[in-house]
Amino acid sequence: MDQNERKPRVAETTFRVRFAETDQMGIVHHAAYVVYLEEGRSELSRQFGASYAEFERTGYALAVTELSLRYIAAARYDNRITVRTWIEQIQSRSMTYNYEVVNEDNQLLLVTGMSRHICLDESGQVRRIPHEWLEGIKAKMYLD
């Protein structure tokens, strides 16, 4: 099976919209979704056995180089939402993630997104993603 035909492994994390994330009308502020996507990436790393916190402790970081969101429907205060996250592409120095944010109760698609990241060392220089971390992610990014 071609790598492009393989189904990606999707990590899910579910939580309630907090009051502080909403505007005067009780609708989630557009900027809050960026934080939601970050939580999705962190959960994906944990589920893949490749903690991002541990990655940073080794002196590396994945800096965001591109971010896009498509807002489809509104989430509101106290809604249960699920962030679905998967890796679209991984290369020696970069990773691309895709996202869906859905209302957990009715499965309404709220937001889709994409983010690209580049691996940096502590001095801010572009580096290869450490081999062990890269291979660990690659081994788990598709369903068997």
3-state secondary structure (DSSP) of residue 119: strand
Distances (CA, A) of 133 to 4, 5, 58, 67, 136: 22, 24, 11, 23, 5
CA distance 136 to 144: 15
The conformation of residue 5, written as its DSSP 8-state character, comes to G
Active-site residues: which are they? 23
CA distance 26 to 112: 21
Per DSSP, helices labelled H in the chain are: 32-47, 52-57, 131-140
Yes or no: say if 77 and 26 are a contact pair by the CB < 8 Å rule.
yes
